[in-house]
């Protein structure tokens, strides 16, 4: 059992303009006012973020295939079938938390309350991309560390996705120290600061990392599922002969 806090350097999480526009639904560029707002958010948004992240590695993990439960330390998690299938070969798990801090959400809320809905929305999407980008870096560090011991990692999985009930956040947070990385739960099991993520990563000799897992999840309004689908479509797009 090991606790790890991860620090990121200023500017280490870089959000590309194309990524922000695609996350907002603009796959072919954006009209001038939107583009100008995006440029402003990209210039100022990073200074509003206070990224903190970390994880706790726990071993061993016990699996109950009959009901798709995981026993982690003294906590039983009902992760449901999809997540269970991805983690079932793990010998340990990393319980993670990462946050972009409260500043970016506060700016978004203030703008929206003052009637500037578009700019507030852009800051909100930017904050989501930042926390996921930060966790990508932290997960990459974990993968590199584990590979030195001959181990692999899975993708990361969070309550609220793939059938894993959001209320299981309470159990997940029982595995971590209080106020870990500055993140706490509300009564409705949402995290505060809002731009925060948590979940599990499987670790072991026989686990697998899948480059694309959105097809495993049934979430319809996921920002990142839509972004990944647009990115994939753009990469695979081939011009067609209109006379075929």
Domain annotation covers residue 242: no
pLDDT, one tens digit per residue, over 156-177 is: 999 999 999 999 999 999 999 9
Is residue 178 in some structural domain? yes
Residue at 241 is within a domain: no
The number of folded domains in the chain is 1
211 or 241: whose pLDDT is higher?
211
State pTM to two decimals: 0.87
Instruction: Tell me how far apart the alpha carbons of residues 15 and 29 are, in angstroms, rounded to a whole number.
Output: 16
Distance of CA 217 to the CA centre of its chain: 14
**Is residue 133 a part of any domain in this protein?**
yes
Q: How far is CA 56 from the centre of its chain?
A: 16
C-alpha dihedral, 122 to 127 to 130 to 135, nearest 10°: -140
Is the torsion defined by CA of 189, 199, 135, 10 positive or negative? positive
For position 167, which CATH number holds? 3.40.109.40
- Per-residue pLDDT tens over the stretch 6-18: 989 888 999 999 9
In the predicted structure, residue 243 carries a pLDDT above the cut 50: no
62 in a structural domain: yes
Query: Which domain, by its residues, includes 46?
Result: 2-232
Specify if 238 maps to a domain: no
Q: Is 20 exposed, middle or buried (0-12, 13-18, 19+ CB in 10 A)?
A: buried
Domain membership of residue 239 (yes or no) is: no
Residue 122 belongs to some domain of the structure: yes
């Amino acid at each position: 059992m090991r606790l790890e806090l991860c620090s990121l350097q200023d500017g280490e999480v870089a959000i590309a303009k194309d990524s922000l526009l695609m996350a907002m639904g603009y796959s072919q560029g954006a009209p001038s006012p939107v583009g100008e707002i995006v440029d402003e958010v990209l210039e100022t948004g990073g200074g509003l973020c206070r990224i903190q992240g970390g994880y706790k590695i726990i071993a061993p993990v016990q699996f109950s295939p009959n009901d798709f439960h995981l026993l982690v330390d003294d906590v039983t998690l009902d992760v449901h079938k999809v997540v269970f299938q991805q983690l079932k070969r793990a010998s340990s798990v990393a319980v993670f938390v990462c946050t972009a801090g409260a500043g970016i959400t506060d700016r978004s809320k203030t703008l929206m309350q003052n009637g500037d809905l578009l700019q507030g929305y852009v800051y909100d999407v930017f904050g989501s991309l930042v926390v996921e980008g930060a966790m990508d870096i932290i997960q990459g560090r974990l993968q590199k560390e584990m590979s030195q011991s001959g181990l692999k990692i899975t993708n990361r999985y969070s309550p609220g996705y793939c059938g894993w009930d959001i209320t299981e956040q309470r159990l997940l947070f029982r595995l971590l120290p209080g106020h870990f990385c500055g993140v706490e739960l509300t009564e409705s099991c949402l995290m505060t600061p809002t731009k925060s993520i948590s979940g599990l990563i499987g670790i072991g000799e026989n686990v697998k990392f899948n480059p694309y897992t959105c097809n495993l999840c049934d979430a319809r309004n996921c920002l990142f599922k839509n972004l990944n689908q647009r990115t994939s479509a753009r990469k695979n797009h081939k011009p067609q002969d209109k006379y075929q």
